[in-house]
Amino acid sequence: MPMGGGQRLVRLPPAPESARQARRFVADVLTAVGADDHLDTAVLLTSELVTNGIVHAHTDLQLVVEASDRWVRVEVIDGNPMLPAKRDYDDDALTGRGLEMVELLADDFGVQSLEDDGKRVWFRLGASPGQVHAEQTAAEPPSDNVSIRLVNLPLTLYSAWQEHADAILREAMLVALERDELPEEFSLASQALSALGTQTVELFAARPDGAPTHIDVDMELPAAVVPYYPVLRDMLRRCSEMSVRGELLVPPSLPEIQAVRRWLCDEIGRQGQGLPPRGWADMPVDDVPDDPTSADAIDAVRTSPVAQVAADRWNRIIAVSPSAAQLLGWQAVDLEGKRLVAIIPPALRHAHVAAFTRQMLGGPSRILGEPTDVPALHHDGSEIPITLLIERHNDHNGRTLFVATLTPR
């Protein structure tokens, strides 16, 4: 190898411990050649690529490391031909950052289809040693595609659904791998989600104020993947059930997000059978399961001298103070049990559901703990200007509770 470089290869199974093994392998190679300046970044990016391979490829992996004291090149090869795509969620998103991280931190990177039905994902740090490495290439589009038209797609809800689906499916697959019981349905669901993410990546770009909130989207999906969307729908439902049982850290999806999942997956399945498109329309949401909160936490809000409303992780109102009920034009007993959207103006509901989803995923919030001037919806349909302060608490059982203080303006 010119310029003091060396190449080493290791084969890894699609198992959680492979990410740790990959990090150690890369660290050992770079330490041996004196590439200490690149060590931390190379280990970070390797971990991301190998984890993606574990979660999405479901095949054995090959990790190839070439390194000298001046440059590093790492590639991960798997047997799944589905190419990854960078997903530009908005600035607060927690998932879809893998390729973006590689692009930002690496001096060069690429994604390459292989003739023997697989792919290579690689990155380079430092100056090229003069060898000609394969540039990023795109796979030839499949000759057998299905045209899909998503009519009136709700952009804000779709973005929240995609982000939540990526997060919860990824965690559920890792849990299944640790239990050594990964059903084939995980692989099919992952392929469906990846294909959809590739086709809708541009939807996550920043949109100017006043841009449409609902648009029609045309896409071409591989015919072989289209039958997997009912599988994706059911797997995401099962993942939410796992979360409700406490088996996952990612929270279950809100009813509005579940509605997007059902419509989207069913719509792709219908059109795959030659049926005409049916546009999105806000639809009734599922009932949510009970999520008991301690009586002390509820009583603290019900007896508050200021206008306060408390909601659980399902966005369901569980306690209302007398002054809040009066401000909103409700009897407290009638408002409790409804979901928060009952007091949010319709034009703001999708944004609220997306923000709440991100907050429950552990992301930063632009509203939590910060007084914000917004309108609230009165029982008679009018809007009330208020200053809203939302705080997140846990009751003594560790259950999440959101308490909103409403101050009239």
The DSSP string of 334-392 is HHTTSBGGGGS-HHHHHHHHHHHHHHHTT---SSBTS-EEEEEE-TTS-EEEEEEEEEE
Give residue 365's pLDDT: 58
Range of the domain at 212: 145-272
Cα gap 262→201, rounded to integer Å: 20
Q: Is the domain of 180 the same as that of 116?
A: no
Per-residue pLDDT, 320: 96
Q: CA-to-CA distance for 274 and 289, rounded, in angstroms? A: 36
Provide the 3-class DSSP secondary structure of residue 7: strand
pTM higher than 0.85: no
Q: What gap in Å lies between CA 21 and CA 69, rounded to an integer?
A: 22
Same domain as 98, residue 41: yes
Same domain, 101 and 6: yes
In a domain, 138, yes or no: no
Looking at the fold, whether 109 and 165 belong to one and the same domain comes out as no
Residue 195 is assigned to a structural domain of this protein = yes
pLDDT of residue 285: 62
Statement to judge: residues 302 and 374 lie in one domain: yes
pLDDT of residue 5: 52
117: nearest Cα among 75, 76, 83: 83
DSSP state of 142: P
Q: Which residues contact 230 (CB under 8 A, 6 or more apart)?
A: 265, 266, 269
Domain CATH for 344: 3.30.450.20
pLDDT (tens place) for every residue of the chain, 409 residues total: 333 456 789 999 888 788 889 999 999 999 988 888 899 889 888 988 888 888 777 788 999 999 888 899 999 998 887 777 555 444 444 344 456 678 777 888 888 888 767 888 999 998 765 543 433 334 444 448 899 999 999 998 998 999 899 889 888 888 887 777 767 788 788 888 888 888 887 776 666 777 788 999 999 999 888 988 988 999 999 998 888 888 888 888 888 898 999 999 999 999 988 899 999 987 666 566 677 777 888 899 999 999 999 998 888 899 999 999 999 999 999 999 898 989 999 999 888 888 888 777 766 556 678 898 999 999 999 999 999 998 888 777 767 788 999 999 9
Distance CA 350, CA 333 (A): 26
Q: Cα–Cα distance between 352 and 311 in angstroms, integer? A: 13
Claim to verify: residue 149 and residue 266 sit in the same structural domain? yes
For the chain, the domain total comes to: 3
